[in-house]
Amino acid sequence: MQIRTLAYRALLAALGGALVTLSLAPIHFWPLIFISPALLYFTLKETTTKQAGILGWCYGAGLYGSGASWVFVSIHTFGDTPFLLSVLMTAAFAAALALIFSLQTWAYRRWFNQTRYTALAFIGLWVVFEWLRSWVFTGFPWLYLGYALTESPFRSWAPIGGVWLLSLGILTISIGMLEIVNARSKRTRFNWAIPITLFCLAPFLTTEWTTKGEKLKIDIVQANIPQHLKWDRSYLPEILGTYTRMTETQTDAPIIIWPETAISTYLSSAMPYLVTLFDQLENENRMLISGYPAIELDETHPEGFRVHNSLGIMTNGFGIYHKQRLVPFGEYVPFERQIRGLISFFDLPMSGFSLPEHPQSRLLAKDTRIAAAICYEIAYPELVRSLSADSDWILTLSNDTWFSHSLAPAQHLQIAQMRALENGRWVVRSTNNGLTALINPLGEITNQAPAYQKAVLKGEIEERSGVTPYQQTGVLPVLLISFVLMGIGFRRRAT
């Protein structure tokens, strides 16, 4: 292949990656998602394994360079890193993640080259790699194809097979339509038309998989605390005073929610500022749930204790949940001894959190069972599935201030909508400055607070019981289908 032709295909592949970002929140032009994988599939025709790896990397660079560009905000604005270095670090982050797609397309061309059923192998391999992205090296389960259909008529498939089934459907339509156009026989067109038609039946899947229960009134306090003040101890009285005043004057629901690390110090240090409010809420029989850093004594730890990113029931009940998926560099620093102190970004406040030794399954709050997910955890489909199967509703606390005025908050909210769909549960999303929202089991946002300002979001949710098909089986059926598709392509490889 000539260099000029390879460069043209590289640009086309990068465009395909960028189309994913345009199809997701906040742009929501979801029909573009059906074009994206087809562009990459088209560029891989008649390429060597090396060229396929390059084109896959270009696709990944287009995807992560646009869709994950929000890391620049945390590195530069809140990590106090010089502008040029922040740009280089963001580019390096996207380039590193793009290697996943490079490996994917290299493997596709290496083991499924010149097969009669190469399109099936392409689809199956893609879904398998999406699954791998959810756990390899702790995972980065972001920017999946299926999220684009969260508010589309195809969303009815989500409670059946999760976001991965939606990705499988997108790939089937995208690659299938391309194969139909290029097909030389009616049989080939017919064979592709069947699965495409089946996936398009989604609007007729109107089953409600879970059962309605008691209604709960909830108030969510969005205090809009500036990130550069949040961990400054001199501002602690003012920060806790803001939450206290808003709770006392603007809430009346039996359940009150504060966001991730709203209490930005250990409870022993915060109690002098909160004891009066806590006593008042106890007397009123009202429950307050808040995020905070929890300290736990541990003689086996080098420092003698562990610090967890946690949420807990502060009044009218008892329960605590420690975060099980930590954000690299934000909540812990890989290779800490080697890179601490090199630049300010590697010394962010509270970047020394620990994982819990004994993860909890859910919060038992009096008569309601809560599946908790802190910030980034809501992006892990299988984690939320396991936590929510025997819970009444899902609570996710976040502090998206790290990525203010970028694509991240809207993408994060869209991911929470998908978790509501998959698990047939209401999702209560509490954030420091947006996007705070209530999401029903259909993935619809029923109420949302204005972003980047102080607000109390008032609303009502329903407890839900029962399980969706996805909660019963998880990703396994979609994985099996994907491996079968890969097996068909591999076994019938031309010699």
C-alpha closest to that of 277 among 263, 267, 288: 288
Rounded distance, CA 318 to CA 365, Å? 7
Q: Which of 151, 179, 260, 382 is catalytic?
A: 260
Q: What dihedral angle (degrees, nearest 10) is formed by the CA atoms of 164, 167, 169, 175?
A: -140
Is position 50 annotated as part of the catalytic site? no
The end-to-end CA distance of the chain, in Å, is: 22
Largest CA distance in the chain: 78
DSSP-derived letter for residue 373 is E
Omega into 435 within 30° of 0, i.e. cis?
A: yes
Cβ contact 158:422 at 8 Å: yes
Residue type, 405: H
Annotate 203-245 with DSSP letters as a single string. GG-----SEEEEEEEEEEEE----HHHHT-GGGHHHHHHHHHH
Is position 212 annotated as part of the catalytic site? no
Q: Which of 331, 375, 382, 463 is catalytic?
A: 375
Is position 462 annotated as part of the catalytic site? no
C-alpha closest to that of 371 among 392, 345, 346, 351: 392
> In Å, how far are 61, 343, 413, 491 from 65, measured between CA atoms?
5, 23, 20, 36
Rounded distance, CA 158 to CA 420, Å? 9
Q: Which of 323, 331, 382, 463 is catalytic?
A: 323
User: Catalytic residue numbers?
Assistant: 260, 323, 375
